[in-house]
Structure 1
Amino acid sequence: MISRRTLLQSLPAAAAGTVVLPSASQAEAPMSNHQVPAQYRLRLGEIEITALSDGYIPFSPEIILAGEPGAVAAALADTPQSQPLIGDVNTYVVNTAGRLCLIDAGGPSSFIPTLGRLEAGLAAVGIDSEQIDQLLLTHLHIDHIGGMLTADGRAMFPNATLTLLADEHDYWTDPALLASADAGFRPLVAAAQGAVAAYADRLILLSGEAQAGPGISTLPIPGHTPGMTGFRLHSGDEQLLMWGDVVHVPAVQFAHPDWRLSFDTDGATAAASRARVLDMVASDRIGVLGSHLPFPGHGYVSRGPDGYRYEAAYWDHFA
């Protein structure tokens, strides 16, 4: 009877008397040093979601504010997370009822050189910018709005309406914010105001939990910015939550959801929102899509002995 052991033992015998010498190299292949445009599709009932990577942001551990000195370094030492920390930047095309929506638009390579891959990603999946019907923004940070404009400042998506929460819009477009911003913050405010201005004639501002389109509704998640929203995607009995920036550093923030980010507008509110959302998706077993979760950013949250755990979803083969 053939077993795994006998089969393996038989392999050297089959090659007895044969000497195989290494052959000369037929061609030298240079290192490519780049990835192909990252894309991934999944189904949610009658909705098709395409995840596209806009690149990544190298984070410093100093952005994480923990309760005790050395706590972040100790937590990271127990994970395989590389240094510097890598924060993926994910965007999502949602095809629902014959309507193409884009959730977030990545960041500009002019500001962060490792970003700016959205346009190439859309081209790779056969989507032209003119086909996007609706642009939905979780918030107006620069790594979520950079792909909204062309190089000469025009709307990249000429046929798309722009949807975000009114609280977010009002905070960033307030002239007083730009006037009072310091030198480091001023370019971010100017970028947000310029991005919104390019879509001013087709702007949709929502409040609270509201219908944003077929199969899409808002879920306010304030704190990281004043008007950040998640987007509930639902079809029949199935749903996912695209939660924006609830988690930036998965290696430590699931286990320590109270740890805040140095650039949160209101850290205490952000931590409270994160606790609320993590409890909801874990209790109700709702799958999540995350802007900064490892690409494609699709997975599930469960409670652990301390804090929460994240598990990436299995690959959807469309079988």
Structure 2
Amino acid sequence: MHITRRRFVAGSIGAAGMAGIGLGPRVAHAQIDLGNVRLDVVSDGALALPGSFVFDPMPKDELQAVLAAQGISPEVLTPPCNVTLMRSGDRTVLFDVGSGPDFAATAGTLGASLDALGVAPEEVTDVVFTHGHPDHLWGLLDDFGDPLFAGARYMMGRAEWDYWLNPATVDQIGEARVAFAVGAERRLRMIEEDMTLFDDGDEVLPGVLARATSGHTPGHMALEVRDGTESVMILGDCIGNHHVAFARPDWLSGSDQDQELAATTRVALLDQLAHEQTRIIGFHLPQGFGRVEKTADAYRFVPGVD
């Protein structure tokens, strides 16, 4: 496996939004060559979240020590948004599509990052969704509300699709996430005829295997890209940050819809990834890619190239 780190190209985040939350230019991409497969980690900007969105269920005294050790503010989080682009043979594949213009002022820069690589939206042949949250799905539409990747076919885990298209979801998801449900259904209905559903263990594309990682959302999927004995796991949000998720993976997180299931998933997956030394691409991890290292009592994220 050959990995290069390139200068990150600034996206069109917007000066006002960046100044308002103290964000500088965000990453544009790093590149991983896996046999005949090329993976680019490209930026869709960043989010600005209240710390309570993640930290509310956690024990406050212990949490403070974990955050302080890594210089993380308990008040505001500014996680990057990292979309994975795969090019293999005649396929140009996106794993998730970012936020688009309607979710966050500091995100929605995927178009600029793809343009920096010379990839036009109409050249995308396949889009594989890890899950249906806005920062992963809402970039499906352009500024005029039309599908941006007009020539693509789409893939999503069956349980995830069923969840967002279930009429009961909007009433059950909780007041803070109602817009998530409404926005997901609207967008998914627009591509329904071009959607292929998959299940745990399916080979969704040649060399790309689905891995059920439920909890963050009911049907969340990670995708493992494999060439011979080498592999990279595209995590989506099943491991959602580089601090508490690694140091205390068993703690419940407010960002997860089924918090207990998500914690169980996270613990098992981190153990596997550390044991097998599988490279990972995380949607909200610094630099986007790295690996998991076992520590005396938990795990830590090792970013980038060794």
Q: Could you state the TM-score of these two structures normalised by the residue count of structure 2? A: 0.87
2:252 corresponds in structure 1 to 260
* Alpha-carbon RMSD: 1.9
1:313 matches 2:304: yes
1:50 corresponds in structure 2 to 40
Distance 1:155 1:223, change over 3 A: same
1:69 matches 2:45: no
SS in 2 for 1:175: coil
Match of residue 101, structure 1, among 90, 93, 97:
93
Amino acid in structure 2 at the alignment position of 1:48? R
Distance 1:77 1:180, change over 3 A: closer
Figure out how many residues of one structure are paired with residues of the other and give that number.
283
2:192 corresponds in structure 1 to 200
2:138 corresponds in structure 1 to 146
Which structure is larger by alpha-carbon Rg, 1 or 2?
1
Amino acid in structure 1 at the alignment position of 2:31? R
CA distance in 2, matches of 1:42, 1:222: 26
Query: How do 1:214-253 and structure 2 match up within 5 A?
Result: 214-253=206-245
CA deviation digits over 1:22-73, x for unaligned, max 9?
xxxxxxxxxx986377122221111101111111112333222555332222
Query: How do 1:69-88 and structure 2 match up within 5 A?
Result: 69-82=60-73, 84-88=76-80
SS in 1 for 2:297: coil
CA distance in 2, matches of 1:241, 1:48: 14
Moved over 6 A (4+): none
CA deviation digits over 1:263-302, x for unaligned, max 9?
312111100100111011111111111011012x110111
SS in 2 for 1:243: strand
CA distance in 2, matches of 1:84, 1:209: 37
Amino acid in structure 2 at the alignment position of 1:79? Q
SS in 2 for 1:261: coil
CA distance in 1, matches of 2:31, 2:255: 31
CA distance in 2, matches of 1:108, 1:130: 16
1:302 corresponds in structure 2 to 293
2:120 corresponds in structure 1 to 128
Overall identity of the aligned pairs, in %? 28
CA contact (8 A) 1:221 1:229 kept: yes
Amino acid in structure 1 at the alignment position of 2:305? Y
CA contact (8 A) 2:58 2:252 kept: no
CA deviation digits over 1:95-150, x for unaligned, max 9?
11221100011113432111110111111111010110100000000010121111
Q: Which region of structure 1 is more displaced relative to structure 2, 255-264 or 76-85?
A: 76-85
CA contact (8 A) 1:37 1:124 kept: no
Amino acid in structure 1 at the alignment position of 2:285? L
Q: Could you state the TM-score of these two structures normalised by the residue count of structure 1? A: 0.83
SS in 1 for 2:42: strand
Amino acid in structure 1 at the alignment position of 2:265? S
Structure 1 unaligned regions, length at least 5: 1-31
CA distance in 2, matches of 1:44, 1:181: 39
SS in 2 for 1:167: helix
CA contact (8 A) 2:157 2:197 kept: yes
Query: How do 1:10-21 and structure 2 match up within 5 A?
Result: none
Match of residue 150, structure 2, among 143, 158, 163:
158
Report the alpha carbon displacement of residue 86 of structure 1 after superposing the two structures with TM: 2.0
